[in-house]
């Protein structure tokens, strides 16, 4: 009986350890929806569900209102929760005035986790396929404005 308890304890600890490693390998993602129409918000929800079902993400979402797609949609983070990746679906995507989805991270370099790079590539592919090539997913390497967002979000406590 005692051997069984010890064996079950070892199996349970191994399972918890594996689950912990799996949770750590996921990318912490915050999806920010700035869209202004019901149709666009529904499309964002479908997109969000597809990302969530990929199993690559610890996923959270916020719906925000901004006057301009270049306004800071988040402000100062009131919590201690930080994200590796912030995906912004900007205001203006509905009318085509902003034909990109923005992927905000800290600068990408040799220290970047492979899981984050895989997540970025998956999002790029899903955006291109889902929009029939009408929209692109841009990173901080593609657009200087996203680098500014990265700096602001890091300073305000959103990026880890």
Residue 92 lies in a domain: yes
Residue 120 lies in a domain: yes
pLDDT digit string, tens, across residues 14-62 = 333 333 344 469 999 999 999 988 888 888 888 888 888 999 999 999 9
Residue 9 lies in a domain: no
Instruction: Quote the pTM value.
Output: 0.81
Residue 41 lies in a domain: yes
Residue 3 lies in a domain: no
Percentage of the chain modeled with pLDDT above 90 = 54
Residue 123 lies in a domain: yes
Tokens 């993602």, residue located = 29
Residue 122 lies in a domain: yes
Residue 130 lies in a domain: yes
Number of domains composing the chain? 1
How far apart CA 2 and CA 10 sit, in angstroms, is 12
Give the angle subtended at the CA of 44 by the CAs of 49 and 155, to the nearest 5°. 95
Q: State which residues form the domain around 81.
A: 26-155
Burial level of 45, CB count in 10 A (0-12/13-18/19+)? middle
pLDDT digit string, tens, across residues 85-143 = 999 999 988 888 899 999 999 998 899 999 999 999 999 998 998 888 889 999 988 99
Burial level of 7, CB count in 10 A (0-12/13-18/19+)? exposed
- CATH number reported for the structural domain that contains residue 41 in this entry: 3.40.1710
């Amino acid at each position: 009986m005692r051997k069984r308890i010890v064996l079950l304890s070892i199996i349970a600890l191994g399972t918890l350890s594996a689950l912990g490693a799996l949770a750590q390998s996921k990318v912490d993602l915050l999806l920010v929806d700035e869209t202004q129409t019901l149709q666009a918000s529904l499309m964002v929800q479908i997109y969000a569900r597809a990302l969530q079902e990929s199993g690559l993400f610890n996923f959270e979402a916020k719906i925000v209102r901004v006057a301009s797609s270049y306004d800071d949609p988040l402000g100062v983070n009131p919590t201690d929760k930080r994200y590796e990746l912030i995906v912004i679906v900007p205001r203006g995507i509905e009318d085509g005035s902003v034909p990109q989805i923005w992927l905000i991270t800290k600068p990408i370099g040799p220290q970047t986790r492979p899981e984050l790079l895989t997540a970025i590539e998956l999002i790029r592919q899903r955006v291109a396929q889902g929009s029939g090539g009408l929209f692109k997913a841009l990173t901080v390497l593609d657009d200087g404005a996203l680098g500014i967002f990265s700096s602001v979000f890091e300073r305000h406590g959103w990026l880890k």
